[in-house]
Structure 1
Amino acid sequence: MRDPYQVLGVPKSADEKEIKSAFRKLAKKYHPDQNKDDASAKARFGEVSNAYEIVGDKKKRAQFDAGEIDAEGKERFTGNPFGGGSPFGGGQRGAGPRGAGGGFSGAEDILSQMFGGMGGGGSPFGGAGPTGGMGGGVGRGPQAGPSKGEDRKIKLTVGLKDLAAGKAPVRLDADRTVNVTIPPEPENGQIVRLKGQGKEGPAGRGDVLITLNISDSSAVDQSEFRREGKNLRVTVPIALETAALGGRVRVPTLGGAIALTVPEWSNSGAVFRVRGKGLPGRDGKPGDILATLEVDLGEKDEALLDLMRQRAETLDETG
């Protein structure tokens, strides 16, 4: 088994964030569901997952760096073979159970978030976890005892108001509807897992895997909004006289229209930012409304046309 740092392509000085980012990138690249015609992808995927189980866990990483465990998570005996009156006394402790470092999200947890339980088709390595069948390592090994029920898959169309609320109703059964939490700035096709809401099994219910179908544009109260991350773009009609002289216009938001003061001589295409009226952001701060002005000439005004003709003639005469 290769050095886990080399497998993930990170230096030994890499921090937790860099290691997790490298794992996510490689897992997405080599996931068997994305490489069905590449037999080598499965082995590469397992190697990447195994490497993350070692250096992604603070405790195991420290043990590996100290030479206490190898790249597969197996104990390296470094003590006195006869210390403590036992042929194994004084030896180094084992790698311990997965996640013993406290708060560690193992490869399977991250893969479930990325692919919704390996794309809903189970682990590409059977029941042995991400490193099963890879020579031992830190995998959980074959699962024994009764199993949970099957996972269910549901597709959910999410509108802008759902994104703003951070939740959306989903119907699980004829008489059962629950609210699913929508993460900030979700991606189209992202999977949200509802634990314990799937089919019944000997060891309890499975999960529900909800694939989000995000509506990036939506009509709300007769205004068309377009999503850009956590910001929303909307076109605002403005009367010719207001554009020329300045004044107040009504800007639609998901929570209702608000008044915005625009300066005189505001052209079509001018963009005004209404802060904090967009969608929830990953940084915990709401996005903005980006309002683009569109001058509306309204009904034909002969008096105004005469003034404009006179103005045009004056400009022609003065050259």
Structure 2
Amino acid sequence: MSTQRAFRIHHDAQGHRAGVETLAVPAPADGEVLIRVGYSGVNYKDALAGTGKGKVIKRFPITGGIDAAGVVETSLDARFQPGDAVIATGWGLAFDHDGGYAQFLCVPGDWLVPMPAGLDPRAAMLLGTAGFTAALAVQRLLVNGQTPEMGPILVTGASGGVGSIAIAILARLGFEVAAVSGKAELQDWLTTLGATRILGRDALPGGDRPLEQAVWGGAIDNVGGAMLAQITRTVVPYGNIAAVGLAGGTALNTTVMPFILRGVGLLGCDSVHIAQSLRNELWQHLASDWRPADLDAIRSDSTGLDGLPAVFERMLAGQTHGRVLVELG
């Protein structure tokens, strides 16, 4: 095959535009690998990029999609052979390098994770960057001493990809999970994933004093802003908060008191630039002991390349939940 279909994003004198185009299949250079993409996924960042509503792309034109999984077509990296199943997330995908919304993806071999036993390309993209980020957040909590005995873990933005997978991982590891979601119609779904308590966005305990009653053993926060500030005041001594998202704002107006009087840990999570050894370790966990019990329960929808614009709009309008799978096979 010499040509392929790809979802391209442009921003130039004509403004923003995006859609499916026919491109040449790239040829790998030394150290690179050409992948026949089977599946990708839709993340909030993909929706911002595809609609032009967020400045998350460094160069144009570019192929969208920060996730991809498939099989090696051609390899100029001795670590990979044709037919090997691989995963690509993070690095420069859909930022300054063509991403996974295409039938073929050419990337440096250093960006790839060999598919671990227990996953295949479809299962890997039911997880995708969202699942990898959730795993990173859980890993940061555990490394910093979080245990189930410290109390329930609060997960904000629970109906999104990161939040829903974090619930499933935490429940599998024996943690009690309290989920925060503004979508009352998804309460049964969140309970199925492993949440034992569901709270509305305005139902978090505590006021605006520097320290409030300690309620949560820890938290995975996808919201930021005022909600994150409130959580810092209600975590038990030496509990941890993994900060993942900023849907509620980038400012954090709080005091140092939770950190110096209770020893609360605020742990940042960047899933883009991460050591390959840890990247491989987290995917191994996702394939085995941290794998959600029912991956398909996390999928809310599937689409091909042509359906991406509609999915993007629904996601930005808060009308999606869990993971949206992109099928390219």
Fold match (TM-score > 0.5): no
Which is bigger in relative contact order (C-alpha 8 A, separation at least 6)? 2
More strand by share: 2
Normalised to the residue count of structure 2, the TM-score between the two structures is 0.23
Highest Rg: 1 or 2? 1
